[in-house]
């Protein structure tokens, strides 16, 4: 039984198609990434899984429970960290967590609540009113609220948006531990290096459709070769410019077939009289894969438009 | 109902009660003061000129009306303000994500409204009782109308809170429907003193039956038979409750 099964899910808002026949199967115990640009449909999909939004067509199950017809079992199995920084201004952190635990039917959950507070660095602020917390601390409470009933499936929608490095490290070490203990984790993030470091499998969404779904390793192997970023003064020879794939902050980004090509490119630059001010060589990362896939899809979408123009 | 369902309901009820208790100066003390001011002003001006019910001073007549008006207005304010605030703040998500059924949501919000309405009503009664010695001719009627009336307005507040997207929409509901209906229901006068046309109009106002039945519990006198009032109130509550539960079950304006 899959942790989350999304079958042919479509969501329409009036004439806008937010999700178009999305199929996904997230296995139990996986650390799964859901990536895509703004407006790709990530939050809509998560909201459908959580029962906050109803799909126009299709079916979603969480731990085998239909999110509409068996919503109580489905929601009990799910913990969601929402993207919006919401809080109830009347209560302290501990009251917030105790209520959240109670909503899930857990009356005597104090020991786990204390553990969550400690693991997310909230213990010293447990009796502070939510209004008095900083944005980062409020984000920690949102995470704690999602974990308070020990759900087997945890969905984190942009959990590290606008938070400091310390929280990211605290959060990821706790989430990794939960994943090791068997919890399924689904993550959306704008920080692709986080997804690359954490996720075993990744789905990429664009305009409501899944355009890539594979293991992180397989996606990275999508882009072969070596990536070289260099900042140069002088005119770069055309033989080097032929390898250019991007230009970032005035630096050339080149894709080379193999590590041995690096020496040849440097020699050609020097022969042309270029002065190399900065140089970085590495393998392609998830951001490169993401950008390439998005660009490919945009190109594909442009072709029929041109044909009919 | 399973034990975890009971815990879920109890938790939401406790949270809703703690919510108003934490700002009790605004949610309890302020409405008590308002009711006392009404009593002082209207009681002072009309005591010598009006006798609404035979053998009962105007101040004594006014007190149950003010108590019930406070019960009704505060029951409405509790569920409606809680829902609109949590919708606007985004914190409503914390009760939409857990496995709370529409029945649990409905009963917890309405029960918390009843508690607030009754607490404010008791507060108004305790403070105003000094102005005219109270009598309790039929206490069970007081209890029945107090609780059922608060439940009715708690349900209306729930419906208004679900429907409204902004505070001013809710304020319109409160100021243009709830406030006139309570003021024109016989809180300050007996409808028997009205011209025939307005007396007939008053009988179409469900709030009239709530006030009249509640007052019957104190004086064993009323404009209409208390059983009729109880029947009208019970019917109005059932209709409102069915609408409220249906909105929650459909996720109207809550789950898109």
Residues of A in contact with B19 (CB under 8 A): 88, 90
Q: Which residues of B touch A (CB under 8 A)?
A: 2-5, 7-8, 10-12, 14-15, 18-19, 22-23, 86, 89-91, 93-101, 251, 255-256
Domains delineated in chain A: 4-220 (3.40.50.300), 226-283 (no CATH)
Inspect the interface and report whether the beta carbons of B3 and A105 lie closer than 8 Å.
yes
Nearest residue of chain A to residue B6 (CA atoms): A105
B128 inside domain? yes
Predicted local distance difference test score (pLDDT) of residue A308: 46
Of the listed ranges A271-285, A293-307, B185-199, the one predicted with least confidence? A293-307
Query: Complex ipTM above 0.90?
Result: no
For residue range A18-30, list pLDDT tens digits in order.
999 999 999 999 9
Inspect the interface and report whether the beta carbons of B7 and A105 lie closer than 8 Å.
yes
Confidence label for A3 from pLDDT (cuts 50, 70 and 90): very high
Predicted local distance difference test score (pLDDT) of residue A135: 86
Predicted local distance difference test score (pLDDT) of residue B1: 61
Mean pLDDT score of chain B: 90
Of the listed ranges A49-63, A169-183, A284-298, B125-139, the one predicted with least confidence? A284-298
The residue count for chain B:
256
Nearest residue of chain A to residue B7 (CA atoms): A105
For residue range A100-123, list pLDDT tens digits in order.
999 999 988 989 999 999 988 899
Give the burial class of B218: count Cβ atoms within 10 A of its Cβ; 0-12 exposed, 13-18 middle, 19 or more buried: buried
Q: Which residue did the predictor score with more confidence, A234 or A48? A: A48
Residues of B in contact with A106 (CB under 8 A): 4, 7
Domain count for chain B, please give it.
Answer: 1
Answer yes or no: is pLDDT of A305 > 80.
no
CA B201 vs. chain centroid, Å, equals 21
Answer yes or no: is pLDDT of B232 > 50.
yes
SS (H, E, C) chain A: CCCEEEEEEEEEECCEEEEEEEEEEECCCCEEEEECCCCCCHHHHHHHHHCCCCCCEEEEEECCEECCCCHHHHHHCEEEECCCCCCCCCCEHHHHHHHHHHHCCCCCCHHHHHHHHHHCCCHHHCCCEHHHCCHHHHHHHHHHHHHCCCCCEEEEECCCCCCCHHHHHHHHHHHHHHHHCCCEEEEECCCHHHHHHHCCEEEEEECCEEEEEEEHHHHHCCCCCEEEEEEEECCCCHHHHCCEEEEECCEEEEEECCCCHHHHHHHHHHHCCCEEEEEEEEECCHHHHHHHHHHHHHHHHHHHHHHHC
Best of B3, B14, B15, B251 to disrupt the A interface (most A CBs within 10 Å) is B15
Three-class SS state of B165 = coil
**Which of B4, B18, B96 lies nearest to residue A105, judging by beta carbons?**
B4
Of the listed ranges A117-131, A278-292, B205-219, the one predicted with least confidence? A278-292
Q: Please give the torsion angle defined by the CA atoms of residues A142, A146, A148 and A151, in that order, rounded to the nearest 10 degrees.
A: -170
Contact A56, A11 (CB under 8 A): yes
**Which of B3, B11, B255 lies nearest to residue A99, judging by beta carbons?**
B11
Residue B137: which domain range? Answer: 3-44+58-250
Does this model's pTM top 0.90?
no
For residue range B1-60, list pLDDT tens digits in order.
677 889 999 999 999 999 999 998 888 889 899 888 888 888 777 767 766 677 788 888
Mean pLDDT score of chain A: 87
Contact A177, A27 (CB under 8 A): no
Question: Average pLDDT of B173-190?
Answer: 85
Three-class SS state of B203 = coil
For residue range A197-240, list pLDDT tens digits in order.
889 999 988 888 988 888 888 777 766 677 888 888 888 888 88
Predicted local distance difference test score (pLDDT) of residue A309: 43
């Amino acid at each position: 039984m899959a942790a989350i099964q999304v079958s042919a899910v479509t969501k329409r808002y009036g004439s806008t198609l937010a999700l178009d026949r999305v199929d996904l199967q997230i296995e139990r115990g996986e650390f799964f990434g859901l990536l895509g640009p703004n407006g790709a449909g990530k939050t809509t999909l998560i909201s459908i899984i959580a029962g906050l939004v109803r799909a126009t067509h299709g079916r979603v199950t969480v731990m085998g429970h239909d999110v509409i017809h068996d919503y109580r079992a489905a929601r009990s199995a799910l913990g969601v960290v929402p993207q919006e920084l919401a809080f109830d201004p009347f209560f302290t952190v501990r009251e917030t967590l105790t209520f959240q635990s109670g909503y899930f039917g857990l009356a005597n959950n104090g020991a786990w609540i204390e553990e969550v507070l400690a693991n997310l660095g909230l213990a010293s602020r447990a009796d502070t009113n939510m209004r008095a917390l900083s944005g980062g601390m409020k984000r920690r409470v949102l995470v704690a609220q999602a974990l308070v009933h020990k759900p087997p499936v945890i969905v984190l929608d942009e959990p590290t948006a606008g938070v400091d490095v310390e929280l990211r490290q605290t959060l990821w070490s706790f989430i990794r531990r939960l994943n090791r203990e068997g919890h399924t984790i689904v993550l959306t993030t704008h920080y692709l290096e986080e997804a690359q470091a954490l996720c075993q499998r990744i789905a990429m969404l664009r305009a409501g459709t899944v355009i890539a779904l594979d293991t992180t390793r397989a996606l990275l192997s999508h882009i072969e070769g070596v990536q070289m970023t260099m900042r140069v003064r002088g005119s770069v020879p055309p033989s080097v410019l032929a390898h250019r794939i991007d230009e970032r902050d005035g630096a050339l980004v080149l894709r080379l077939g193999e590590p041995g090509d690096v020496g040849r490119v440097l020699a050609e630059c020097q022969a042309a009289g270029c002065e190399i001010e900065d140089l970085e060589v590495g393998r392609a990362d998830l951001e490169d894969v993401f950008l390439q896939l998005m660009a490919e899809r945009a190109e594909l979408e442009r072709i029929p438009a041109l044909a009919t123009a | 109902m399973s034990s975890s369902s009971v815990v879920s309901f109890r938790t939401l009820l406790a949270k809703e009660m703690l919510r108003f208790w934490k700002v009790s100066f605004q949610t309890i003390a302020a409405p008590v003061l308002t009711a006392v001011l009404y009593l002082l002003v209207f009681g002072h001006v009309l005591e010598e000129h009006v006798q609404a019910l035979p053998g009962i001073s105007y101040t004594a007549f006014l007190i149950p009306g003010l108590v019930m008006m406070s019960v009704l207005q505060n029951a409405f304010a509790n569920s409606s303000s809680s829902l609109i605030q949590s919708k606007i703040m985004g914190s409503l998500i914390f009760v939409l994500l857990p496995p709370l059924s529409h029945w649990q949501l409905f009963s917890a919000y309405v029960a918390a409204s009843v508690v607030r309405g009754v607490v404010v009503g008791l507060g108004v009664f305790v403070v105003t009782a000094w102005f005219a010695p109270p009598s309790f001719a039929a206490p069970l009627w007081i209890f029945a109308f107090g609780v059922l009336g608060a439940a009715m307005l708690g349900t209306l507040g729930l419906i208004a809170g679900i429907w409204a997207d902004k505070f001013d929409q809710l304020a319109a509901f409160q100021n243009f429907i709830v406030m006139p209906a309570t003021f024109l229901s016989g809180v300050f006068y007996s409808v028997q003193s009205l011209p025939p046309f307005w007396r007939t109009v008053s009988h179409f106002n469900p709030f009239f039956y709530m006030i009249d039945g509640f007052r019957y519990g104190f004086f064993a006198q009323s404009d209409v038979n208390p059983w009729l009032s109880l029947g009208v109130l019970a019917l109005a509550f059932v209709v409102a409750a069915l609408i409220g539960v249906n909105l929650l079950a459909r996720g109207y304006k809550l789950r898109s």
